[in-house]
Amino acid sequence: MAALIAENFRFLSLFFKSKDVMIFNGLVALGTVGSEELFSVVAFNCPCSPARNYIYGLAAIGVPALALFLIGVIWNNHTWNLVAECHKRGIKNFSAAATFLLFGSIMGRAAVAPVTWSVISLLRGEAYICALSEFVKPSSLDKFPADYGAEVLARFPCKDVPANLTKFRDEVTRRLRYESQLFGWLLIGIVAVLVFLTKCLKHCCSPLSYRQEAYWAQYRSNEDKLFRRTAEVHSRILAAKNVKQFFGFVALDKEEKELVQEFPVEGVQPSPQWNAITGVYIYRENKGFPLYSRLHKWAKGVEGNGPSPEGHEMLFLAS
């Protein structure tokens, strides 16, 4: 029984490691759903006033979506790798396909949260009803009183209408909610088709076999974890040496003392080395052997960034 449980845990661990991007996107979507629900309950309050309804309704959908998109761009490592690449080397070594692939990766990941926000807002319908209620043509409503106009229609989302207009308010609300939910479902369908086509295109255009691509993903993950862990230890030991140099002693706990004794740090890496391992990386091969990252390329002593007889750019971006 214990062996079976351990095997199941190992399977789940491998699954989550292999699907980290998908799971991250799912968590982002779930978090966005929760945030949208909270916003609708706590913050959304239609002004029920002509001209203001439209601006407020669109802002309730568009402004949070824009903010979530910008946050997604900021949190994406590819964004800052691109900034470093443009600052240090420019993008003259990128082909049009590589540039499109890079921007598509950044925009695609950043779009998860805003698309989710927009879909949930449309399916709920409150913001859409608030924005467009005043634009419903009175002539489209059977036996609507002629002495009422856009000002009364704008008050429909707040249910603050005369008693003789209650049935018209219900009809307008039902009609606009139908339109809003229809747009929401269409957006879901369009996004699903785009994701499917993108995945197909990615695998069809990949120069790597399925197993090598999986190995590359594992290598990137392990390299990143080890680099961060080692950088944290290296910086702690270097800081301890500098503090000791200043005060004459340094207050270390038992674990830190063991680290200082086990890993002697003589100095820091020069800036050219940091620049060499920083930036956007497109999959490349050198004399038939793969180079899986900028750090791998630096460790192998491969010079240059563009295609050459010995270094061939495969136009495939690390996802």
- What are phi and psi for residue 317, nearest 5 degrees? -90, 145
My answer on whether 201 and 52 are in the same domain is yes
* The pLDDT value given to residue 182: 96
142 half-sphere exposure, CB direction, 13 A CA radius: 3
My answer on whether 123 and 262 are in the same domain is no
My answer on whether 285 and 163 are in the same domain is no
Structural domain count of the chain = 2
Q: Which of 205, 224, 255 is the last residue of a domain?
A: 205
DSSP strand E in 51-94: where? none
* The pLDDT value given to residue 203: 76
Residue 172 within a domain: yes
CA proximity to 177, closest of 125, 219, 253: 125
* The pLDDT value given to residue 16: 40
Residue 217 within a domain: yes
- Biggest alpha carbon–alpha carbon distance for the chain: 91
My answer on whether 177 and 221 are in the same domain is no
- Global model pTM greater than 0.95: no
Q: Which amino acid is at 268?
A: V
My answer on whether 117 and 62 are in the same domain is yes
My answer on whether 52 and 187 are in the same domain is yes
* The pLDDT value given to residue 18: 42
My answer on whether 53 and 199 are in the same domain is yes
Residue 238 within a domain: yes
Q: What span, in angstroms and rounded, lies between the C-alpha atoms of 216 and 199?
A: 17
Q: Which of 205, 236, 258 is the last residue of a domain?
A: 205
My answer on whether 49 and 198 are in the same domain is yes
Q: What span, in angstroms and rounded, lies between the C-alpha atoms of 86 and 284?
A: 19
My answer on whether 250 and 291 are in the same domain is yes
- CA 139 to each of CA 79, 126, 147, 310: distance values in angstroms, whole numbers, following the listed order: 51, 23, 12, 73
Residue 316 within a domain: no
Residue 17 within a domain: no
My answer on whether 182 and 255 are in the same domain is no
My answer on whether 197 and 220 are in the same domain is no
My answer on whether 189 and 243 are in the same domain is no
Residue 218 within a domain: yes
Classify 44 as helix, strand or coil. Answer: coil
Structural domain harbouring 86: 32-205
* pLDDT string in tens for the chain (319-residue length): 444 334 333 433 443 444 455 555 565 666 665 665 555 555 778 888 888 999 999 998 899 899 989 998 998 888 887 777 776 666 655 666 667 777 888 888 889 889 988 998 899 888 999 999 888 888 778 777 777 777 888 888 887 777 777 888 888 889 999 999 999 999 999 999 998 988 888 778 777 888 888 899 899 999 999 999 999 999 999 999 999 999 999 999 999 899 889 998 888 899 889 988 887 787 888 888 899 998 999 999 886 554 443 344 444 444 4
